[in-house]
Amino acid sequence: MKTLFAQSVPGRTGCLPPKPEHAAADMLPAGLLRKSAPRLPELSELDVVRHFTNLSRQNYGVDGNFYPLGSCTMKYNAKFAEYVASLPGFCNLHPLMAQLRGTSQMTQGALECIWEMERLLCEISGMDAYTLQPMAGAHGEFTGATLIAAYHRDKGNNKTKIICPDSAHGTNPASATLAGFEVVNIASRDGIIDPEALEAALSEDVAALMMTCPNTLGLFETHLPRIVEKLRRVDALLYYDGANMNAILGKMRVGDVGFDVVHWNLHKTLGTPHGGGGPGAGPVGVCSRLEPFLPVGRVARQADGNFYLDYDHPKSIGYIAPFYGNFGIMLRAYAYVLRLGGEGLTRVAEHAVLNANYLKKLVEHFLVVPFGRICAHEFVSSAPEGLRALDIAKGLLDRGYHAPTIYFPLIVKECLMAEPTETESKQTLDAYAAALEEIVKQGLSDPRSLHDAPHTTPVRRLDETAAARNMVLTEDM
Amino acid sequence: MPFVPHTEDEVRQMLDVIGVATPDDLFADITPEMRPRSFNLPHGQSEMEVCGRLEALAAANRTDVVSFLGAGFYNHHIPKAVDAVTSRSEFYTAYTPYQPECSQGTLQAIFEFQTAVARLMDMPCANASVYDGGTALFESVMMAVRQTRRHKIVVDESVNPIWRRMLATHTRHLPVELVTVPQCVGRSDFAALKSALDDACAAVVVQNPNFFGAIEDYTELFAHAKARKALSILAVYPVMQAVLKTPGEMGADIAVADGQALGMPLSFGGPYLGIMTCRKELIRQFPGRIAGRTTDVDGKTGYVLTLQAREQHIRRAKATSNICSNQALCALRSLVYMALLGPQGLTRVAELGMERARYAVERLTALPGVSLLHDAPYGNETALRLPLPAAEVVERLAERGYVAGFPAGRYYSGMDDVLLLACTEKNTREQIGMLAEMVGGLL
CATH number, residue A272: 3.40.640.10
Q: Which residues of B touch A160 (CB under 8 A)?
A: none
* Residues A44 and A159 grouped into a single domain: no
Measured CA to CA, the distance from residue B188 to residue B218 in angstroms comes to 10
pLDDT (0 to 100) of residue B111: 98
Residue B60 within any structural domain of the chain: no
Residue B140 within any structural domain of the chain: yes
Q: Which of A304, A320, A338 is the last residue of a domain?
A: A338
Q: Tell me what the mean pLDDT of segment B194-215 comes to.
A: 98
Q: Are the beta carbons of B210 and B163 closer than 8 angstroms?
A: no
* Torsion sign, CA atoms A217, A219, A223, A227: positive
* Residues A240 and A170 grouped into a single domain: yes
* Residues A9 and A121 grouped into a single domain: no
pLDDT (0 to 100) of residue B411: 97
Assess A19–B contact: CB distance below 8 Å, yes or no: yes
CB contact under 8 A, A89 and B60: yes
Q: Which of A291, A313, A338 is the last residue of a domain?
A: A338
Residue B142 within any structural domain of the chain: yes
Q: Which amino acid is at B33?
A: E
* Residues A229 and A275 grouped into a single domain: yes
* Residues B46 and B160 grouped into a single domain: no
ipTM of the complex: 0.98
Q: Are the beta carbons of B335 and B116 closer than 8 angstroms?
A: yes
The 10s digit of each residue's pLDDT in A230-256 is 999 999 999 999 999 999 999 999 999
pLDDT (0 to 100) of residue B226: 98
The 10s digit of each residue's pLDDT in B290-305 is 999 999 999 999 999 9
The 10s digit of each residue's pLDDT in B131-178 is 999 999 999 999 999 999 999 999 999 999 999 999 999 999 999 999
Residue A458 within any structural domain of the chain: no
Question: Hey, how many other C-beta atoms are within 10 angstroms of the C-beta on A384?
Answer: 14
Residue B1 within any structural domain of the chain: no
pLDDT (0 to 100) of residue A447: 87
| Residue B56: HSE in the Cβ half-sphere, 13 Å Cα cutoff | 7
Q: Which of A296, A312, A338 is the last residue of a domain?
A: A338
The 10s digit of each residue's pLDDT in B377-436 is 999 999 999 999 999 999 999 999 999 999 999 999 999 999 999 999 999 999 999 999
Q: Could you give the number of structural domains in chain A?
A: 2
* Residues B245 and B315 grouped into a single domain: yes
Q: Which residues of B touch A45 (CB under 8 A)?
A: 79, 81, 340
Sheet bearing B125-126, strands edge to edge: B125-126, B274-278, B254-258, B231-236, B201-208, B152-156, B177-181
Q: Are the beta carbons of A23 and A37 closer than 8 angstroms?
A: no
- Taking phi over 0 as left and psi of -120 to 50 as alpha, with beta for the rest, B225 belongs to alpha
* Residues A22 and A134 grouped into a single domain: no
pLDDT (0 to 100) of residue B130: 98
* Residues B206 and B287 grouped into a single domain: yes
Measured CA to CA, the distance from residue A382 to residue B195 in angstroms comes to 60
Q: Which residues of B touch A86 (CB under 8 A)?
A: 83
Residue A443 within any structural domain of the chain: no
Residue A255 within any structural domain of the chain: yes
Tell me what percent of the residues of chain B surpass a pLDDT of 90. 95
H or E segment and range at residue B191: helix B190-196
Residue B61 within any structural domain of the chain: no
Residue A283 within any structural domain of the chain: yes
Q: Which amino acid is at A434?
A: A
Residue B378 within any structural domain of the chain: yes
**What radius of gyration do chain A's Cα atoms show?**
25
* Residues A249 and A115 grouped into a single domain: yes
| Interior/surface letters B340-351, b for 16+ CB within 10 angstroms, e for the rest | bbbbbbbbbbbb
User: Is pLDDT at A205 greater than 90 in this prediction?
Assistant: yes
Interface with chain B: mutation pick from A19, A67, A94, highest number of B CBs within 10 Å: A94
Biggest alpha carbon–alpha carbon distance for chain A: 75
The 10s digit of each residue's pLDDT in A262-295 is 999 999 999 999 999 999 999 999 999 999 999 9
User: Is pLDDT at A14 greater than 90 in this prediction?
Assistant: yes
Residue A133 within any structural domain of the chain: yes
Q: Which residues of A touch B258 (CB under 8 A)?
A: 322
Q: How far is Cα of residue A328 from the mean position of the Cα atoms in its chain?
A: 15
B39 band by pLDDT with thresholds 50, 70 and 90 = very high
Residue A472 within any structural domain of the chain: no
* Residues A94 and A52 grouped into a single domain: no
* Residues B282 and B358 grouped into a single domain: no
Residue B156 dihedral angles phi and psi, to the nearest 5°: -70, 130
Q: Which of A38, A65, A82 sits opposite B242 (nearest CB)?
A: A38
Instruction: Enter the DSSP assignment of A298.
Output: E
Measured CA to CA, the distance from residue A78 to residue A75 in angstroms comes to 9
Q: Which of residues 395-454 of A touch B (CB under 8 A)?
A: 397, 402-403, 405, 408, 422-426, 452, 454
Q: Which of B301, B336, B371 is the last residue of a domain?
A: B336
* Residues A15 and A96 grouped into a single domain: no
* Residues A187 and A238 grouped into a single domain: yes
Boundaries of domain holding B165:
80-336
User: Is pLDDT at B320 greater than 90 in this prediction?
Assistant: no
Residue A155 within any structural domain of the chain: yes
The whole-angstrom distance between B20's CA and the closest CA on chain A is: 10
Residue B144 within any structural domain of the chain: yes
* Residues A123 and A240 grouped into a single domain: yes
* Residues B217 and B272 grouped into a single domain: yes
Strand partners, B43: A341
* Residues B51 and B153 grouped into a single domain: no
Boundaries of domain holding A291:
82-338
* Residues B134 and B234 grouped into a single domain: yes
Q: Tell me what the mean pLDDT of segment B262-266 comes to.
A: 98
Q: Tell me what the mean pLDDT of segment A439-459 comes to.
A: 95
Q: Tell me what the mean pLDDT of segment A327-349 comes to.
A: 98
Q: Which amino acid is at B219?
A: T
Q: Which of B336, B362, B385 is the last residue of a domain?
A: B336
* Residues B129 and B229 grouped into a single domain: yes
What's B96's domain CATH number?
A: 3.40.640.10
Assess A359–B contact: CB distance below 8 Å, yes or no: no
User: Is pLDDT at B77 greater than 90 in this prediction?
Assistant: yes
Strand partners, A416: A381, A406
User: Is pLDDT at A349 greater than 90 in this prediction?
Assistant: yes
User: Is pLDDT at B310 greater than 90 in this prediction?
Assistant: no
* Residues B150 and B120 grouped into a single domain: yes
Query: Among B205, B217, B107, B219, which Cα is nearest to B157's?
Result: B205
| Interior/surface letters B151-174, b for 16+ CB within 10 angstroms, e for the rest | bbbbbbbbbbbbbbbbbbbbbbbb
* Residues A48 and A97 grouped into a single domain: no
Q: Could you give the number of structural domains in chain B?
A: 3
Residue B319 within any structural domain of the chain: yes
Q: Tell me what the mean pLDDT of segment A25-40 comes to.
A: 98
Measured CA to CA, the distance from residue B80 to residue B265 in angstroms comes to 12
- Mention every residue, 6+ apart, whose C-beta is less than 8 A from residue B107: B97, B100, B291, B302, B303, B304, B305
* Residues B71 and B103 grouped into a single domain: no
**What mean pLDDT, rounded, does chain A reach?**
97
* Residues B226 and B109 grouped into a single domain: yes
User: Is pLDDT at B309 greater than 90 in this prediction?
Assistant: no
> Where in B88-133 does DSSP place strands (E)?
125-126
A425 band by pLDDT with thresholds 50, 70 and 90 = very high
Q: Which residues of A touch B178 (CB under 8 A)?
A: none
* Residues A104 and A13 grouped into a single domain: no
Q: Tell me what the mean pLDDT of segment A129-158 comes to.
A: 98
Q: Which amino acid is at A438?
A: E
The whole-angstrom distance between A117's CA and the closest CA on chain B is: 12
Question: Hey, how many other C-beta atoms are within 10 angstroms of the C-beta on B150?
Answer: 22
Residue A233 within any structural domain of the chain: yes
* Residues B227 and B165 grouped into a single domain: yes
CB contact under 8 A, A120 and B294: no
Measured CA to CA, the distance from residue B443 to residue B439 in angstroms comes to 7
> For residue A7, with 0-12 CB atoms within 10 Å meaning exposed, 13-18 middle and 19 or more buried, which class applies?
middle
Measured CA to CA, the distance from residue B286 to residue B275 in angstroms comes to 12
Q: Which residues of A touch B242 (CB under 8 A)?
A: 34, 37-38
The 10s digit of each residue's pLDDT in A159-187 is 999 999 998 998 999 999 999 999 999 99
What's B346's domain CATH number?
A: 3.90.1150.10
